[in-house]
Amino acid sequence: MTTPWGEFSLARFPEDQRDRLRAWDASDEYLLRHLADQDVVLSGTVVVLGDRWGALVTALAQHAPVQITDSYLAQEATRVNLARNGIEPGTVSLLTTQDVPPERIDVLLVRVPKSLALLEDQLLRLAPAVHEGTVVVGTGMVKEIHTSTLDLFERILGPTRTSLAVKKARLIFCTPDPSLERPANPWPYSYTLPEGIGPVSGRMVVNHAGVFCADRLDIGTRFFLAHLPRTRGERRVVDLGCGNGVVGTAVALADPAAEVLFVDESFQAVASAEATYQANGVPGHAEFRVGDGLAGVPSGSVDLVLNNPPFHSHQATTDATAWRMFTGARRALRPGGELWVIGNRHLGYHVKLRRLFGNSELVASDPKFVVLKAVKR
Ligand SMILES: C[S@@+](CC[C@H](N)C(=O)[O-])C[C@H]1O[C@@H](n2cnc3c(N)ncnc32)[C@H](O)[C@@H]1O
């Protein structure tokens, strides 16, 4: 990436040799060029919110920025990218969306996140640290910036306008108005689950901003809950890509002897899963871990993996993550251990499972979803 601060070599994390997608885009370049062209003073505390793969903080490393992200993969990418460009790890402070933000922010750079809820929550959390003189600049691709996005900046921080589009990217300029009466933060959001979904019927689910399907039970998850394995006993279960933790909590409630590991790459998700679990006073043992799939889980140590893989419109990304999750599950399962997957029928997960495990059984189906089981032989 060529920037006014020099040239940087950047990669996504984990690097996919088959699919070398760039680790930055036109919105990162536009923001960096704007900062240089306008001689924006990058002193005091510079905060970068939502940097996708660490491109922004790597380029701005000499200004000792603070990065705030919800994504473990983004944080790891940043660590790797700083190292590959010879930047000392301590130069950039790496915070998560769950950490206490800096007390005073002098420059706030926002790579607009996919989730409007996450943007709302984060702007509300950061607003008390923003002062009249804070420079606030947002950036994103035109298709990611909506009227609702600008409304959030306007309602939470102050008067907001946008730039012209350049290479399908746009900047957001916001002039902080500390006298604004800010709305209360609606996150985390809790609701009661419907009846008829097994052990979590009528239970509470807690959602931090940005988690998958935060305001209602996803219909795929609902179908999965109705068809979870009925075996019980002392065993190690993983809720892989746990989101708000409703699936793992259902297992823990039905089977107090089970030890459940909740894993997600989103800090907001793991915090939600832990809060959901706590809110229901579940007996038994649980562990909550932010990480990339089953990385770090010992081989052959797990009896059951439950997985509703992420599904985005970017088909290539979708396939790669599901494939990595299934591969990780195969490694982490003991012989005879099972991977249970819920997916949209058209995604054809059975093909992947057959290739990896040599078997795939249809447990349940409706016109939209399938629940599949693969056994490690
Ligand atoms: C479709 S959601 C399922 C959430 C929840 N299990 C449910 O059914 O409601 C997929 C989840 O996978 C998580 N995820 C995506 N990539 C991941 C990765 N590499 N490692 C762990 N979790 C990941 C997402 O953050 C998201 O919470």
Give domain limits for the chain: 2-174, 189-375
Closest CA to 259 of 285, 232, 288, 240: 285
* CA dist., res. 261 & res. 232, Å (int): 16
CB 322 less than 6 A from any atom of ligand 1: no
Pairwise CA distance, residues 15 & 21, whole Å: 9
Q: What is the mean pLDDT of residues 143-164?
A: 98
Return the ligand 1 atom nearest residue 266 CA.
25
Q: How confident is the model at residue 313 (pLDDT cuts 50, 70, 90)?
A: very low
229 lines ligand 1 (CB under 6 A): no
Domain 2-174 matches domain 189-375 at the CATH topology level: yes
Name the residue with higher pLDDT: 63 or 15: 63
Identify which of 222, 265, 311 to mutate to test ligand 1's pocket (most ligand atoms within 8 A of the CB): 265
Per-residue confidence at 135, pLDDT binned at 50, 70, 90?
Answer: very high
Cβ count within 10 A of residue 38: 10
pLDDT at 318: 63
The angle, 0 to 180 degrees and rounded to 10, between the axes of the packed helices 267-279 and 246-254 is 30
How much is the average pLDDT of 264-272? Answer: 98
243 CB under 6 A from ligand 1? yes
Residue 221 has pLDDT above 90, yes or no: yes
In this predicted structure, the answer to whether residue 316 has a pLDDT above a threshold of 90 is no
Q: What is the pLDDT of residue 361?
A: 98
Q: What is the pTM of this model?
A: 0.97
What pairs with residue 374 in β-bridges?
Answer: 339
pLDDT band at 37 (very low <50, low <70, confident <90, very high): very high
Point out the least confidently predicted range of 15-19, 194-198, 361-365: 15-19
pLDDT at 79: 98
Average pLDDT value for residue range 208-215 = 97
pLDDT at 274 over 90: yes
Joined together, the tokens standing for residue 53 give: 């793969």
267 CB less than 6 Å from ligand 1? no
Give the C-alpha separation, 289 to 281, whole Å: 19
Residue 115 CB–ligand 1 contact under 6 Å: no
Question: In this structure, are residues 285 and 260 in contact, taking their beta carbons and an 8 Å threshold?
Answer: yes
Question: Which residue's C-alpha comes closest to atom 2 of ligand 1?
Answer: 310
Confidence band, pLDDT 50/70/90 cuts, at residue 317? low
* Token code pair at residue 190: 């809790």
Query: Is residue 164 pLDDT above 80, yes or no?
Result: yes
Tell me the C-alpha distance between 203 and 104, whole Å. 39
Encode pLDDT of 121-132 as tens digits: 999 999 999 999
Q: What is the mean predicted confidence (pLDDT) over 152-163?
A: 98
- Is residue 11 within 8 Å of 78, Cβ to Cβ? no
Banded pLDDT at 231 (limits 50, 70, 90): confident
The percent helix, strand, coil of the chain (3-state, each to 5) is 35, 25, 40
Radius of gyration from C-alpha coordinates of the chain: 22
User: Is the domain 189-375 a CATH 3.20.20.70 member?
Assistant: no
Residue 253 — pLDDT band, cuts 50, 70, 90?
very high
Q: How far apart are CA 288 and CA 245, in angstroms?
A: 10
- Pick 2-174's CATH classification: 3.40.50.150, 3.30.70.260, 3.40.50.300, 3.40.50.1980: 3.40.50.150
Residue 147 neighbours by CB under 8 Å, 6+ apart: none
Would the CB of 14 count as within 6 Å of ligand 1? no
Question: 233 or 17: which carries more pLDDT confidence?
Answer: 233
The dihedral formed by the CA atoms of 165, 311, 345 and 215, expressed in degrees to the nearest 10: -100
Q: With a cut of 90, say whether residue 18 has pLDDT above it.
A: no
**110 token code pair:** 């926002």
Cα angle 178, 184, 187; round to 5? 125
Check if 357 has its Cβ closer than 6 Å to any atom of ligand 1.
Answer: no
Residue 262 and residue 240: Cα distance in Å, rounded? Answer: 6
Residue 209 has pLDDT above 70, yes or no: yes
Question: What is the token pair recorded at 278?
Answer: 């706590």
Q: Whole-number mean pLDDT of the chain?
A: 96
